[in-house]
Amino acid sequence: MNNNVLKNKVAVVTGGASGLGLAIARELVRSGANVAIADVNPKNLKNVYNRYFQGKKNIAILTDVSDQAQVDSMTETTIRELGSIDILVCGAGITVRKPTLEINLEEFEKVISVNLTGTFLCCKSVAKQMLAQGSGSIINIASIMGHVSFPGRPAYDASKGGVVQLTKVMALEWAEQGIRVNALCPGFVKTELTRKLWESKEKLELISSLTPMKRMATPEEMTGAVVFLASDGSKFVTGSSLFVDGGWMAW
């Protein structure tokens, strides 16, 4: 990637202290952006900030994306400390893998509150700043499971389908005001969220067999697409789902 493609841009990355969010935040910094990493885990947030982001114009903000007051505080802190918000990456996400008849209401609503409601709250909060400045790029981390599905994942797949549709609505609402909104739809990526899948030989073989490239991705393999969507290289792209899935959706 061009180290200056996002020079002087300010990005917020939720879920930025682990997995895909961390990989994205690090790549945004390498591409020239100043980054606010937001995460609900204070220990992870402190550790990754000290290891990867300290000493540069980056900040860490403890944030539960399902809490509107905390989300608004995240936005206000970023603007106060870094001056603006040009890029928002909604990467915070959780999952519960249980069949529909086994998942309880509390588990289902928790997944929805983080993955879908959290995305809504972050986009709404940050978009107010973007509308005032007349520009911005929002990248919502959805999933191929927002378009297809597996049994045993009703909450996660419903949440990601909702993120895809929410992305389209916001893209239409803000297209004339300089804000682009797109969804990154990864295939199966090796992160803590998917550990139970890739540590199981049977499940890993199944996923690999269904992926034309015959393997799971690394978090770093998602980052180039995010930089593209964040940059002027995609300035006529909005309302889209960008699949980075090893060919999964080509079946």
Would you say 122 and 78 are in contact if contact means Cβ atoms under 8 Å apart?
no
Structure tokens of 57?
């114009």
Residue 49 annotated in active site = no
The Cα 129–Cα 88 span in angstroms is 11
Closest among 155, 163, 160 to 100, alpha carbons compared: 155
E strand intervals along 15-135:
34-39, 59-62, 87-90
Complete DSSP assignment for 86-111: -EEEE---------TTTS-HHHHHHH
The Cα 215–Cα 204 span in angstroms is 8
Closest among 100, 111, 103, 169 to 143, alpha carbons compared: 111
Residue from 156, 228, 243, 248 carrying the catalytic annotation: 156
* Angstrom distances, CA of residue 112 to CA of 73, 154, 193: 21, 10, 16
Residues marked active site are found at: 156
